[in-house]
Structure 1
Amino acid sequence: MKNSLFILALFLSSFIGFSQETEVKYDEALAKSLHADEYGMKKYVFCLLKSGTNTTASKEETKKLFEGHMANIGKLAKEGKLVVAGPFMKNDRNYRGIYVFNVETIEEAKALVATDPAIKANLLEAELTPWYCTAALQETVKIHEKIAKTKM
């Protein structure tokens, strides 16, 4: 009985300790620099990349187009226009990857998609959707540079 009460008391004290909020201070300068709204959120455009209609490209042509695709990703990330990009693992839905563009409108995202050689050649197809997410997402690229031991 004493052991049960001790374990219960230990559990409750741990629970109370973890449930107490630690005070996080609002950083107005950071919020403004990231164009965050009052909730710390902002608009982006989410891009789902799917397999395109071009199934006749040679291996050599495909390789060259995807090298351009990767170079374009790097360029857009450096410009701050692309905050997330990455491929999907093998799947049965023809999903190839995603982009999250740091723009507010579909029209702006269409202009960025048009710079991708693999999309221009119809190896990939882009489906664009407005998205509302944390403004802190923009910091992902900076953090990634600090944790990637090998650069692409």
Structure 2
Amino acid sequence: MKKRYLTTALMICLTAFYGGLKAQENNKNYDEKLAKELNADEYGMKVYVLAILKTGIEKSFSKAKQDSVFKGHMTNIGKLVTDGKLVVAGPLGKNDKNYRGIFILDVPTIEEAKKLVDTDPAIQSKLLDVDLIIWYGSAALKETLKIHSKIEKRSH
């Protein structure tokens, strides 16, 4: 008899527990065409590579040489954007870790990201160094570039 009460109690608990779990619902705003264009998974996410730019080992360049290298750095950023490989770039504030900026690259592997950052004159000249990390984020991130061009009064 005791076993029967335990079994019944267990069944009630399990029913209450599983009945209380809400199944994941489909998003009513889901746009399948846009999701495919952005290579989004079922959660609207995708894999990118986060590049953390750091102060490099080169310290002997003149101001003119540094300016020239950073002009090439900015040109390279523009090329990566045009090629659809760079979705976010920007400098970081002063910090004690020598972090200088970030890129979010629209590639799925560290190897592909390495090939892209190796085209940067600031990396090539060792003025900057880079750490590359896989990052999983919103596939909609790429859409910010379209919006940015509408709010940017002056370009670099």
Q: How many residues align?
A: 130
1:90 aligns with 2:129: no
Question: Where does residue 19 of structure 1 map in the other structure?
Answer: none
Alignment of 1:2-151 (within 5 A): 24-151=28-155
Could you tell me the percent identity over the aligned residues?
Answer: 58
Relative to the length of structure 1, the TM-score reads: 0.83
Q: What does the per-residue CA deviation read over 1:75-133, in whole Å, with 9 as the maximum and x for residues that have no partner? A: 10111100000001122210100000000000000000011000000000010000000
Aligned partners of 2:94 and 2:42: how far apart in 1? 39
Question: Where does residue 18 of structure 1 map in the other structure?
Answer: none
Q: What does the per-residue CA deviation read over 1:34-83, in whole Å, with 9 as the maximum and x for residues that have no partner? A: 00000000000000000000011111111000000000001101111000
Stretches of structure 1 that go unaligned for 5 or more consecutive residues are 1-22
Aligned partners of 2:108 and 2:50: how far apart in 1? 10
Relative to the length of structure 2, the TM-score reads: 0.81
Largest Rg, 1 or 2: 2
Aligned partners of 1:149 and 1:60: how far apart in 2? 27
Amino acid in structure 1 at the alignment position of 2:93: M
